[in-house]
Amino acid sequence: MSEEVKLHGAWASPLSYRVIWALKLKGIAYEYVEEDLSNKSALLLHYNPIHKKIPVLVHTGKPICESMIIIEYIEEMWPHTPLLPTDPYDRAISRFWIKFVEDKALPILGRMFNTMGGELEKAIKESLEILEIVEEHGLEDNKYFNGETIGMVDIAFGSILYWLGVNEEVLGVKLLEPHKFPRLHEWFQSFQEVPVIKENLPDRDNVVAFFKRRRETLEATAA
């Protein structure tokens, strides 16, 4: 059944990659549409008039917004290679961590990137506390958050950690130190080795250069 699946995304966005990973893990054919976020297309504004953001998944002409809501939809429409556990309690635990990532971990990226001096130091301190919570309570003894194979929580958190790495390079700081966060570090190494993830990441040099330029602009206007 060839139902048109289109993904409107942006090459440097962690949220875009979440959806790409979900689609690829399930082997779903889709057309990718790159959006220029500095010059948003009429189509994007039509599909997401409220938030005007990517990613947007369009399935048989119907748009779905918000990366984790998109992935819940993908999970339901294409149930093979499940990205959530089957047991309702385990699913609740997964959704708890997905919400934690959205509410607590995702804002780390913006807070670090957009601040300087004392405020940046504060942002880093808060970010370390967030990582500590996941290290202590999130992983337990599983290889991945989803168990033996990666799932929605891994995808959600993996995107944040990858872009945290980009932030670290741009800002010249290091947060995810292996001796401080052994479990997280090991999980993240395994995550990046998963073929679908490994083969679907932005070019590291390009994405660091992209954010370096933006950071330089920010620092110039703040000075």
Partner 1 sequence: MEEVKLHGFWASPFSHKVIWALKLKGVEYEYIEEDITNKSELLLKYNPVYKKIPILVHGGKPIAESTVILEYIEETWPQNPLLPTDAYQKAIARFWIQFGAYEPYFRKFFHASGEEQEKAAKEIFGMLKILEEQGLGDKKFFGGDSINLVDIAHGWLPLWFGSIEEAVGVKVMESTTLPRLHAWIQNFMEVDVIKENLPDREKVLVHVKKVREKFVANHSN
Least distance from C-beta 8 to partner 1, angstroms? 15
Who contacts 170 (Cβ-Cβ below 8 Å, separation ≥6)? Answer: 113, 208, 211, 212, 215
Asked whether position 66 contacts partner 1 by CB under 8 A, the answer is yes
Give me the least distance between CB of 203 and partner 1, in Å please: 31
Check binding of 62 to partner 1 (CB under 8 A): yes
Residue window 15-54: x/- pattern of binding to partner 1, with contact defined by CB under 8 A: -----------------------------------x----
By CB under 8 A, the count of residues binding partner 1 is 24
* Under rule CB under 8 A, residue 76 binds partner 1: yes
| 38 token code pair | 């500095």
Beta bridge partners of 34: 9
Least separation in angstroms between residue 149's CB and partner 1 is: 21
Binding mask 148-187 for partner 1 (x = CB under 8 A): ----------------------------------------
Q: Which is nearer to partner 1, 35 or 72 (CB)?
A: 72
Q: Which residues bind partner 1 (CB under 8 A)?
A: 50, 59, 62, 64-66, 69-70, 72-73, 76-77, 88-89, 91-93, 95-96, 99-100, 103, 133, 137
